[in-house]
Amino acid sequence: MSRVTLSRYLIEQTRSHNTPADLRFLIEVVARACKAISYTVSKGALGGVLGSMGTENVQGEVQKKLDVLSNEILLEANEWGGHLAGMASEEMDNAYQIPGQYPKGAYLLVFDPLDGSSNIDVNVSVGTIFSVLRCPDSNGCTGDLGDDAFLQAGTEQVAAGYAIYGPQTMLMLTLGNGVKGFTLDREMGSFVLTHDHIQVPESTAEFAINMSNQRHWEAPVKRYVDELLAGKTGPLGKNYNMRWIAAMVADVHRILTRGGVFMYPRDDREADKPGKLRLMYEANPMSFIIEQAGGMSTNGYQRILDIKPTSLHQRVAVFLGSREEVERITGYHQA
């Protein structure tokens, strides 16, 4: 059988699901940028790209050189094509304006250029997460774009995906009708469809959480994790295994592949911040992907995709993955 490249998949989507040509172009440009990031990441010490910049981002996190490089790669790739009205990045304080010399388009691109960047220097998987929204102004977003244009619930996303830079570079994509996985063929330089039908198993015996924060969790999370740890003789009646890669992309990728439940709960370290992960750059795109693969995603109290954002860098608690377990932990929050 002939190979289905990302380009062919997108053209077939235009025929079967009326995917607009400018959205198709947008995805191709993002994929091209991810190839460039993959190449840059793979150079490691040889490319002089490891280590920190000595600066902090808006979240107060130390920026790695590769955070900044990946951000630049995505901005430069996407600013000139006429498909975007603006961009927002985890690494930038405010919305990025399309430079005046270029035409503007109908879409907004939101991204975390290099997720899990603490893994870079130890040669463990990292990734790029992206989300696509429509410009909310029906007359077109022609003037300067405010942050508020991006403050749309996750249900408004028209596409979302991530690239994982691991033993293989893969691009996982949803356009709202299932999730497809593409593997980068480095010799040919193209993403090839290798995972056609991605479904998160309903039940699982694997969980992912940073256990070192246990003492800071809220009661429902403590209860749930105690029950997981109690194993076969506990209330859940089975033994669970634990995995934590500390890059959301890699943990979610494992869950998409073989099931599991991922948790980053709110905790009492910073009372004003509901969780560590970012709603717009991490939780929304990953929740869209997980739901499209038959899984579930909540903040313990409500579906993540229904949350109306109030700021660009808003944080949120995240419970996502195999439906049975996400239902259980969400139920414990509501008990």
Q: How far is the CB of 86 from ligand F6P (least distance, A)?
A: 23
In the set 6, 30, 248, 304, which binds ligand F6P (CB under 6 A)?
248
Q: How far is the CB of 276 from ligand F6P (least distance, A)?
A: 6
Q: Please choose, out of 80-88, 164-172, 241-249, 308-316, the segment that lies near ligand F6P by the rule CB under 6 A.
A: 241-249
In the set 55, 177, 203, 210, which binds ligand F6P (CB under 6 A)?
210
Q: How far is the CB of 289 from ligand F6P (least distance, A)?
A: 14
CA dist 263 to 131, 142, 160, 318, Å? 21, 39, 20, 6
In the set 115, 206, 291, 325, which binds ligand F6P (CB under 6 A)?
115
For residue 267, give the DSSP letter: B
The annotation places the binding site for substrate at 115-118, 210, 276
Q: Which is nearer to ligand F6P, 85 or 209 (CB)?
A: 209
Q: Tell me: does residue 225 bind ligand F6P (CB under 6 A).
A: no
Interactions with ligand F6P, residue window 256-295 (CB under 6 A): 264, 276-277, 282
Question: DSSP 3-state assignment of 308?
Answer: coil
CA–CA separation, 128 and 72 (whole Å): 13
| Three-state DSSP string of 89-110 | ECCCCCCEECCCCCCCCCEEEE
Q: How far is the CB of 132 from ligand F6P (least distance, A)?
A: 20
Q: Which is nearer to ligand F6P, 220 or 275 (CB)?
A: 275
CA–CA separation, 335 and 320 (whole Å): 19
Helix axes 248-258, 284-292, angle to 10 degrees: 10
**Structure tokens that stand for 232 in this block:** 């076969």
Is residue 49 within 8 Å of 40, Cβ to Cβ?
A: yes
Helix axes 21-43, 6-17, angle to 10 degrees: 160
Q: How far is the CB of 116 from ligand F6P (least distance, A)?
A: 4
**Structure tokens that stand for 309 in this block:** 């954002």
Contacts with ligand F6P by CB under 6 A lie at 115-116, 210, 246-248, 264, 276-277, 282
